[in-house]
Structure 1
């Protein structure tokens, strides 16, 4: 006869051990191998990528998550684009008074494009137009600022504005507001608006300080972070 199996076998089966999950935390040592990462405002289980301007979760793989992120198509493309758009790549290390005039003209026209909310592709034909308009101008002859150089100048102007704004609000009262985009897709954008008194012009200024991405659900905690 076949032996009966059942209740006794169940009792003899040892219970499974519970697997303890370990949550990885950000360490400053990561920045030595990956200089593009910084400590995240979202907490110790996240890292902030200064190239993509996003927070990524490292709770599962730690440094492995960082390696995975820098290998993504988005990070590679943005890093390549930023490397090519460094302002130092477009201007001579030692400039003459004539070069200074050209640089000033290129910056002024780039600001004109931004302030009028025009596409930076408008700069592609600007040099030709200026040379036709001002054939006797040495500055017009040397003007060479298409979309790539204009983008680099725009980034530089943005960094300067950011520095000026944060310098003022670090020593004076200000209010902050934000409202997110619709939750379509994986990315939710949250423009950070600050309102403060600018004593340099004697007016109350309202401006966008930054445009941030919110990772995960748009909960109050995530938005605050």
Structure 2
């Protein structure tokens, strides 16, 4: 019987004809003798008989080259913050200001994910700069006019309702989880409460936390959540807190 070739992790560090590492899109399939291309979104491709030659043949197909070129037509976005692989929105005095860095090597993403990433970066900018949601209406048309050669800009769409949804249901829960992790890792923190009647004549309880931030090197105050109360008796506060 012919010898069966298994997927080798060493293949991930090889480079294609353009000098790009294969680990940007290559990964092992569900079996030891298969591989997948995340760029082309393939199912398991067999390498049992041809070994690395099967991978080489795939990355030289017209479809694979077209998918890769479509990504290279647009600069990949990277968020540079205090620490790699993290997203931070800090004060103007800090070095954690949101920065678009096109020179930093980033993970090769499918085109749709690049659009999503661009919309997230814009949402973070809106939050960072204090722009109103309504100011985002028509911003997609502005970007299309400014960057006619960018495929990402042509697909960018961010209206007031969408950015509200992205903030509350998209990136909001991520930052909330990160805040909870930081609080749990601290021995001590201060819980601050601010109770008031909002513009809907409902009692609103805002919760803030103060704790020492290792990233910032100082005591920081962070918003935790808001609670709408019918009545604010001590028993009700105890239940929510």
Q: What TM-score, normalized to structure 1? A: 0.52
Alignment gaps of 5+ in structure 1: 1-94
Which of 190, 208, 230 is the aligned partner of 1:215? Answer: 230
The answer to whether the aligner puts 1:116 opposite 2:154 as a matched pair is: no
1-structure distance, mates of 2:211, 2:157: 37
- Match status 1:160 vs 2:174: yes
Residues 195 and 204, structure 2, Cα contact 8 Å, conserved in 1: yes
Matched, 1:198 2:213: yes
Displacement of 1:183: 8.2
Alignment-derived partner of residue 150 in structure 1: 163
Kindly indicate whether structure 1 or structure 2 has the higher relative contact order, using CA contacts under 8 Å at least 6 residues apart. 1
Deviations 1:171-218 (A, max 9, x none): 3111011121148876200110101122244332201100111222x3
Tell me the CA shift for residue 164 of structure 1. 0.6
1:132 equivalent among 133, 145, 151: 145
C-alpha displacement of 1:168: 1.2
Tell me the SS of whatever aligns to 2:195. Answer: coil
In the alignment, what sits opposite 2:60? none
Q: Which of 159, 164, 184 is the equivalent residue of 1:170? A: 184
The structure with the greater share of residues assigned to helix is 1
Larger Rg: 1
- 2:198–2:204 Cα contact (<8 Å) kept: no
Aligned length: 130
Residues 53-132 of structure 1 correspond to what in structure 2 (within 5 A)? 97-132=110-145
